[in-house]
């Protein structure tokens, strides 16, 4: 693995993601094109496409041999060791209703493992950057996940895939989490929840079958901030999975959250 490539990718991503973020900031509460995306009620706006175009153009110019998978454009290029994952507007549904909770996410994968994650929240001007082995930073300040003396008085993020909908097991687990913690959070902007966990603002994440371009930047953020990311059986989560089921938290809370998930699923 060539860290020269990763550091060059970091430089390009930081510059480009700010440009993309400026578009979403300017267009927030002022966009004109809104379309239905799928049968689950998701939408896409002109901002998704404008931001995506900026990011893809820069990546293809700098790394023409790398493969790209982007939320709207799909797969670009041929499969190889380097894969970029782009979510130009994570939280489009929030954006569409005037809720200021959204980000842009760029991830670089090497052999199916995240090595660079960059997430930008334009309305707060918070830039999260993580490089494998080099920690996680928010606006150039290193951040660390936090341990809560009583996890059950904490805030747990819930993330579920679009196709999960009201799957009975998901509903059962979601309700169990809701009544066992201070608050269960559903932001509909997953990358922001991952960054909040890495920063110590929330205490854990439980993810139910949600794979996509917004997942792996967050996983790297949490791991590099000192957190653990495991599956529902307690094994370390590695690689890319078509149907991931994940717990992420401070290592101190591994057993507590594993128990909650097992009890919640009954």
The residue among 122, 151, 106, 146 whose CA lies nearest residue 10 is 106
User: Was 89 annotated as part of a binding site?
Assistant: yes
DSSP conformation letters of 159-178: EE-TTTTT-HHHHHHHHHHH
166: phi then psi, degrees, rounded to nearest 5 = -110, 40
User: Was 214 annotated as part of a binding site?
Assistant: yes
Structure token pair of residue 73: 């454009």
| Contact present, 259 and 233 (Cβ < 8 Å) | no
Residue located via tokens 């809720």 = 99
Dihedral, 213, 176, 168, 195 alpha carbons, nearest 10: 0
Whole-number Å distance between alpha carbons of 215 and 191 = 7
3-state secondary structure at position 75:
strand
User: Was 52 annotated as part of a binding site?
Assistant: no
Length of the chain: 266
User: Was 231 annotated as part of a binding site?
Assistant: no
User: Was 29 annotated as part of a binding site?
Assistant: no
Q: Which residues are annotated as a binding site?
A: 71, 87, 89-90, 214
Q: Which residues are annotated as a binding site for Mg(2+)?
A: 71, 87, 89-90, 214
């Amino acid at each position: 693995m060539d860290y020269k490539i990763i550091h060059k990718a970091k430089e390009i991503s930081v510059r480009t993601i700010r440009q993309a973020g400026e578009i979403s900031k300017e267009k927030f509460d002022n966009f004109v094109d809104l379309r239905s995306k799928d049968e689950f009620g998701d939408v896409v706006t002109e901002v998704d496409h404008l931001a995506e175009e900026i990011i893809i153009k820069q990546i293809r110019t700098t790394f023409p041999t790398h493969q790209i998978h982007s939320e709207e454009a799909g797969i670009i290029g041929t499969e190889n060791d380097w894969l970029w994952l782009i979510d130009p507007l994570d939280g489009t549904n929030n954006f569409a209703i005037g809720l200021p909770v959204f980000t842009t996410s760029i991830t670089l994968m090497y052999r199916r493992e995240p090595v660079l994650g960059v997430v930008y929240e334009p309305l707060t001007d918070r830039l999260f950057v993580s490089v494998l082995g080099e920690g996680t930073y928010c606006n150039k300040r290193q951040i660390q996940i936090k341990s809560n003396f009583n996890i059950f008085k904490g805030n747990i993020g819930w993330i579920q895939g679009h196709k999960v909908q009201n799957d009975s097991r998901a509903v059962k687990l979601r309700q169990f989490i809701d009544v066992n913690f201070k608050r269960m959070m559903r932001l509909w902007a997953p990358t922001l929840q991952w960054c909040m966990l890495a920063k110590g603002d929330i205490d854990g994440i439980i993810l139910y079958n949600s794979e996509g371009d917004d997942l792996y930047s967050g996983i790297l953020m949490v791991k590099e901030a000192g957190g653990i990311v495991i599956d529902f059986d307690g094994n370390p989560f590695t690689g890319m999975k078509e149907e991931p089921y994940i717990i992420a938290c401070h290592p101190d809370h591994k057993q507590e959250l594993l128990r909650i998930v097992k009890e919640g699923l009954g």
